[in-house]
C-alpha cells in the first residue's frame, strides 16, 4: 500500500503538483494519465525519492520515505529515457545493477531469451539502437522480484513483438500479486493492462477509478474518447 498525502511540488515558480492525495492498493495495476506537463513524471519520481516534495508526504508500508533509501529495494523502476554508460557492455551493466541491488535471485537469463538480447550481451551500450536499449531497460526492470513496479512510458521504441512480450510480462507480474504503476500515452495499451486510472490535470487528481467508471462519467463509449472528452472539457 502506497499512500500519498497532500503532495505539492514547485520548481521555482512553476507549481507542478498541487495537493495530490492518493492511496494505491496492493496487487493492482494503476495507470497514471494526463496531458503533457500534468505532473505524471514528477509524481512518479516523488514516489521514487528522486524528486523531493515541497509539501506533503509519501507513506510506504506505514513509513515515510523522507530521507530513506532502503525502501527502493522494493521497487523496480523503468525510466522514460534509457541511457546508460556508453563504455559498459550489456552484460556488465546487468551484473552491475545486480551487484548494486545485492539481490542474488535475478531472472535475467529468461529475459535475455525473451527479448532475444543474446547477441548484444558483449556489445557496448553506446553502440546499441534506441529500441535495443529500451529492451535492456525493460530487462533491468523485470529481472528482480520486487513487490512494486513503476513503468514510465514503457512502450516507447518497442517493436510490435516486444510490445506483446512486455504485455505478457506485465500480466505475469500481476498474477504474482505485484503493484504496478504505469504512465503511458498509448491508450490501447493502458486500456488493456490497467485496473485503475488516475487522471492528473494541472497538478491535481481529476479522476480516479476504473475504466468503466470513466466511460460512465464522461458518457463516452470507448476509453480514448473518454480521455479526449476530459481534455476538451478542461480546455474549453
Partner 1 sequence: MLKILKYSFYDLMRSRWSYVYFVFYLVLGFVLLFLNNNVSKAVITLMNVIIILVPLIGTIFGVMYYYNSKEFTGLLLAQPIKRSLIFLGQYLGVALSLSMSLIIGLGIPFILYGIFRSDAIWDFSLLLITGTFLTLIFTALSFNIALSNENRIKGFGYAILLWLFMAVIYDGIFLMSLMIFEDYPLDTFSLTATMFNPIDLSRVLILLKLDISALMGYTGALFQKFFGTNFGMFLSIGILILWVVIPAWFIERKANRKDF
Burial class (CB in 10 A: 0-12, 13-18, 19+), 36: exposed
Of 101 and 215, nearer to partner 1 (C-beta) is 101
Q: Which positions from 53 through 72 interact with partner 1, judged by CB under 8 A?
A: 69-72
> Which of 3, 15, 48, 191 is in the footprint of partner 1 by CB under 8 A?
48
DSSP readout, 116-173?
Answer: T-GGGTTSBGGGS-HHHHHHHHHHHHHTS--SEEEEESTTTT--HHHHHHHHHHHHHH
Q: Which positions from 70 through 129 interact with partner 1, judged by CB under 8 A?
A: 70-73, 75, 77, 79, 81-88, 92, 96-97, 99-101
d(CA 207, CA 33): 10
Question: With contacts defined by CB under 8 A, how many residues of the chain interact with partner 1?
Answer: 31
Q: Give me the least distance between CB of 139 and partner 1, in Å please.
A: 13
Q: Give me the least distance between CB of 202 and partner 1, in Å please.
A: 19
What angle do the packed helices 130-142 and 90-101 form, to 10 degrees?
30
Of 17 and 214, nearer to partner 1 (C-beta) is 17
List the grid coordinates of 108.
Answer: 535475467
For strands 29-33 and 196-201, give the pairing: parallel
What x-and-dash track marks residues 139-178 binding partner 1 by CB under 8 A?
A: -x--------------------------------------
d(CA 64, CA 81): 28
List of residues contacting partner 1 (CB under 8 A): 9, 11, 45, 48-52, 69-73, 75, 77, 79, 81-88, 92, 96-97, 99-101, 140
Amino acid at each position: 500500500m502506497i499512500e500519498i498525502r497532500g503532495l505539492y511540488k514547485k520548481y521555482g515558480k512553476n507549481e507542478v503538483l498541487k495537493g495530490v492525495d492518493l492511496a494505491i492498493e496492493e496487487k493492482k495495476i494503476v495507470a497514471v494519465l494526463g496531458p503533457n506537463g500534468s505532473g505524471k513524471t514528477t509524481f512518479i519520481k516523488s514516489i521514487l525519492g528522486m524528486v523531493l516534495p515541497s509539501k506533503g508526504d509519501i507513506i510506504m508500508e506505514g513509513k515515510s520515505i523522507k530521507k530513506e533509501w532502503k525502501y527502493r529495494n522494493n521497487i523496480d523502476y523503468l525510466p522514460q529515457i534509457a541511457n546508460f554508460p556508453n563504455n559498459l557492455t550489456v552484460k556488465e551493466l546487468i551484473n552491475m545493477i545486480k551487484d548494486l541491488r545485492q539481490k542474488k535471485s535475478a531472472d535475467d537469463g529468461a529475459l535475455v531469451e525473451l527479448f532475444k538480447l543474446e547477441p548484444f550481451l558483449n556489445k557496448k551500450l553506446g553502440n546499441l539502437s534506441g529500441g535495443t536499449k529500451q529492451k535492456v531497460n525493460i530487462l533491468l526492470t523485470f529481472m528482480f522480484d520486487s513487490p512494486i513496479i513503476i513503468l514510465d512510458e514503457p512502450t516507447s521504441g518497442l517493436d510490435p513483438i516486444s510490445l506483446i512480450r512486455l504485455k505478457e510480462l506485465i500480466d505475469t507480474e500481476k498474477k504474482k500479486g505485484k503493484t504496478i504503476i504505469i504512465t503511458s500515452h498509448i491508450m490501447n495499451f493502458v486500456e488493456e493492462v490497467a485496473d485503475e486510472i488516475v487522471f492528473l490535470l494541472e497538478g491535481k487528481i481529476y479522476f480516479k477509478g476504473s475504466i468503466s467508471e470513466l466511460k460512465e462519467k464522461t458518457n463516452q463509449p470507448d476509453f480514448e474518447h473518454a480521455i479526449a472528452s476530459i481534455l476538451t472539457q478542461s480546455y474549453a
